[in-house]
């Protein structure tokens, strides 16, 4: 088998996913939120063990635990250390967080496919998931009715010599003219917890300016996608399935503008909403379970994240 | 020149550092805290431009902006996107956060030296810094009098073919039996901002159990360092200078136990305190400015971070 030029020889050996326990309906849209006492740690651990089982591996086999999440579980320590305690206490596996907000999973696969390819690590457990419900503003209907709490995980591992799996191409860009279009201004270093009062309470909630994001995406995303496809020397027709970040119900407007017809991409916004960093791996996991994507298929992971960051990653599954 | 086996061919092309504007004294210990209106964004930008000037480069030359920080500036978006707005608005440079708490800088150099070595990126701007003062508990003297607010930055770039600079060896481990010895439990996903009340207010402050950390380090750190030196096939005598994380005044107790005498490592805890993620790059930057470390010297970056995470990275400067 010819090794594609520049291909990172990795494969996803197993995936898992978990939804929060409380089911809500907003019209025809289904959302999931954490039950009292339930945390993203619980969901992440469930998804991770499922990924390990599907990979036929144990936590002891992992060389690195990576949390690819948009938001912290605690301000200190990093998320991966908290998962380490739940899954790998007593082991010495390094724990690292990678964050590019909603596309953190794609960035983590991008970065760790390089590290696995060169042998820095061999088996990497990547977890995604965010407590979206912790900061939703009931006064902002658009975002309040959009998000779900969920988690997803995968085991990324070296691909065998005769395995066609790998990362063919990846590109990330950040367009910070959109940095304040999706944010939680308060609660951390810029506006500490102890500064919250009745006058600035709104700043501690999630704030999304959907219309501005759409405008920025409409202006820059088509050129970005065209450039990536050209550099990757891949046509839209060759791509078996696109897994976009499930940003919002506008997915059905954006994707055709990028040249992807409805049968070419996953849109599960009505079923699950936006699960922040978990959206992409959750959709990929479901696609594999449902048989929509199979070993050897060319899959495109892509998305826009708060920042505004855009990711494009072509993977032979 | 023989290329050392497995060496990542990178060099630090320039560094910068910045201290918060308010100077405090606790006995013979000097600390720095943010002035009203001053933020870690301000300090980070100052350090980053200094690093770029020292590298003889411009922000336009960077292929990636990496924030290697322990704490978020906002819960959303990631820190690197916020720095992107201040330094690179209008450009498309990708912005990524890497977090392993206090040793985030070492982890970022570890990871991005691999990405630069294989050509995924050529020039990377790495920024560190944390708003330690945002969560200090005046009731916990040990930690209240230990931390400073500061920032540091470096430009990591490909080393030329005839340049001996590079990363010779790196190892990271996480020992999560110490995960609750250094933490801020409240304010994020596990215990949201809006759940703070007078009964749990303490959970939203930084909490450090210094004695427990020291015990864990005393038990596991010597073996870890011995293992790393053995794997790297480097003796303590060959190392020109050790830049440890400036964790606390216990540095003078720990380092000799690891086999490093006082003239072999940087201890600036009395002058600057613990600057969280900025400690290691700040000390490295100062060491270069003072002429304590020169091109070609073998330098060891190491430290323990909340998690508990340990990092060991050997660099030919």
Residues A183-234: pLDDT tens digits? 999 999 999 999 999 999 999 999 999 899 999 999 999 999 999 999 999 9
Tell me the torsion sign for CA atoms B34, B35, B41, B42.
Answer: negative
pLDDT at B5: 56
Q: Cβ of A77 and B172 within 8 Å? A: no
Quick one: pLDDT band at residue A264, thresholds 50, 70, 90? very high
pLDDT at A6: 84
Model confidence, pTM = 0.97
Using a CB-CB cut-off of 8 Å, the residues of chain A touching B245 are none
CA distance B287 to chain A (A): 27
Of B76, B78, B174, the CB nearest to A84: B174
The three-state DSSP-derived secondary structure of A145-185 is CCECCEEEEEEEEECCCCCCCEEEEEEEEECHHHCCCEEEC
Using a CB-CB cut-off of 8 Å, the residues of chain B touching A74 are 183-191
DSSP state of A94: -
Mean pLDDT of A135-160: 95
Contact between A65 and A93 under an 8 Å Cβ cutoff? The reply is yes
Query: Which stretches of A163-272 are DSSP H helices?
Result: 210-232, 251-257, 269-272
pLDDT at A285: 98
Look up residue A80 and give its two tokens.
């991966």
pLDDT at A265: 98
Bridge partners (DSSP) of residue A57 are none
pLDDT at A289: 97
Q: How many CB atoms lie within 10 A of CB B97?
A: 30
Of the candidates A253, A309, A248, A316, the residue with the CA atom closest to the CA atom of residue A105: A309
In total, the C-beta contacts within 8 angstroms joining chain A to chain B are 263
Nearest CA in chain A to B91: A175
In the stretch 118-137 of chain B, residues with CB closer than 8 A to chain A read 118, 120, 130-131, 134-135
Look up residue B109 and give its two tokens.
């150099």
DSSP state of A93: -
Burial group, residue B38, by CB count within 10 angstroms (0-12, 13-18, 19+): middle
Quick one: pLDDT band at residue A2, thresholds 50, 70, 90? very low
In the stretch 270-299 of chain B, residues with CB closer than 8 A to chain A read none
Element (H, E) at A304: strand A298-305
CA distance A302 to chain B (A): 14
Gap between the Cα atoms of B124 and B158, Å rounded = 9
Contact between A250 and A267 under an 8 Å Cβ cutoff? The reply is no
Q: For the residues of chain B, what is the DSSP string, one character each?
A: -PPPTT-B-EEEEEEEEEE-SEEEEETTEEEEEPPTT--HHHHHHHHHHHHHHHHT--GGG-SEEEEE-SS-SSSBS-HHHHHHHHHHTTS---EEEEEBTBTHHHHHHHHHHHHHHTTS-SEEEEEEEE-GGGG--TT-HHHHTTB--EEEEEEEEEPPTT---EEEEEEEEE-GGGTTSEEB-SBSTTSBGGG--TTTGGGGS-EE-HHHHHHHHHHHHHHHHHHHHHHHT--GGG--EEEE----TTHHHHHHHTT--GGGB---HHHH-B-GGGHHHHHHHHHHHTTSS-TT-EEEEEEEETTTEEEEEEEE-
Using a CB-CB cut-off of 8 Å, the residues of chain B touching A245 are none
Gap between the Cα atoms of A237 and A182, Å rounded = 33
Q: Cβ of A84 and B176 within 8 Å? A: yes
Contact between B112 and B148 under an 8 Å Cβ cutoff? The reply is no
Q: Cβ of A309 and B94 within 8 Å? A: yes
Nearest CA in chain B to A201: B194
pLDDT score of A31 more than 70? yes
pLDDT at A5: 56
Of the candidates B122, B134, B128, the residue with the CA atom closest to the CA atom of residue B64: B122
In the stretch 32-71 of chain A, residues with CB closer than 8 A to chain B read 39-41, 65, 70-71
pLDDT in tens, chain B (317 residues): 344 458 999 999 999 999 999 999 999 999 999 999 999 999 999 999 999 999 999 999 999 999 999 999 999 999 999 999 999 999 999 999 999 999 999 999 999 999 999 999 999 999 999 999 999 999 999 899 999 999 999 999 999 989 999 999 999 999 999 999 999 999 999 999 999 999 999 999 999 998 999 999 999 999 999 999 999 999 999 999 999 999 999 999 999 999 999 999 999 999 999 999 999 999 999 999 999 999 999 999 999 999 999 999 999 99
Q: Cβ of B184 and A76 within 8 Å? A: yes
pLDDT score of A29 more than 60? yes
* Phi, psi for residue A103 in degrees, rounded to 5: -105, 20
Percent of chain A with pLDDT over 90: 96
Look up residue B249 and give its two tokens.
């005044």
pLDDT score of A30 more than 80? yes
CA distance A70 to chain B (A): 7
**Strand A95-99 relative to strand B95-99: parallel, antiparallel, unpaired?**
antiparallel
| Test mutation, A75, A117, A274, chain B, max B CBs within 10 A | A75
Of the candidates A57, A45, A55, the residue with the CA atom closest to the CA atom of residue A17: A45
pLDDT score of A4 more than 80? no
Q: Which residue has the tokens 């929060």?
A: A20
In the stretch 85-114 of chain A, residues with CB closer than 8 A to chain B read 85, 88-90, 92-101, 107, 111, 114
Of B92, B107, B196, the CB nearest to A174: B92
């Amino acid at each position: 088998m010819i090794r594609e030029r520049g291909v990172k020889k990795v494969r996803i050996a197993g995936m898992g996913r978990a939804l929060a326990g409380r089911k809500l309906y907003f019209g025809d849209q289904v959302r999931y939120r954490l039950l009292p006492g339930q945390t993203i740690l619980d969901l992440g651990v469930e998804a991770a063990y499922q990924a390990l089982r599907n990979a036929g591996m144990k936590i002891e086999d992992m060389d690195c635990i990576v949390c690819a999440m948009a938001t912290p579980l605690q301000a200190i320590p990093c998320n991966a250390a908290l998962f380490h305690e739940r899954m790998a206490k007593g082991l010495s596996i390094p724990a690292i967080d990678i964050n590019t907000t909603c596309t953190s999973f794609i960035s983590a696969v991008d970065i760790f496919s390089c590290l696995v390819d060169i042998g820095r690590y061999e088996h990497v457990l990547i977890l995604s998931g965010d407590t979206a419900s912790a900061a939703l503003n009931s006064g902002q209907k658009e975002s309040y009715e959009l998000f779900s709490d969920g988690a997803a995980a995968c085991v990324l591992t070296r691909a065998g010599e005769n395995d066609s799996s790998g990362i063919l191409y990846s590109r990330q860009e950040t367009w910070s003219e959109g940095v304040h279009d999706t944010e939680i201004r308060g609660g951390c270093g810029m506006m500490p917890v102890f500064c919250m009062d009745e006058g600035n309470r709104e700043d501690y909630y999630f704030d999304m300016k959907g219309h501005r994001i759409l405008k920025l995406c409409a202006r820059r995303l088509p050129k970005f996608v065209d450039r990536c496809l050209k550099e990757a020397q891949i046509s839209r027709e060759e791509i078996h399935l696109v897994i976009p970040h499930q940003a919002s119900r506008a997915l059905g407007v954006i994707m055709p503008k990028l040249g992807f017809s409805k049968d070419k991409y996953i849109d599960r916004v009505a079923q699950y909403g936006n699960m922040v960093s978990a959206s992409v791996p959750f959709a990929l996991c479901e696609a594999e379970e449902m048989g929509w994507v199979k070993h050897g298929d060319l899959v495109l992971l892509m998305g826009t994240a708060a920042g505004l960051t855009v990711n494009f990653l072509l993977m032979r599954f």
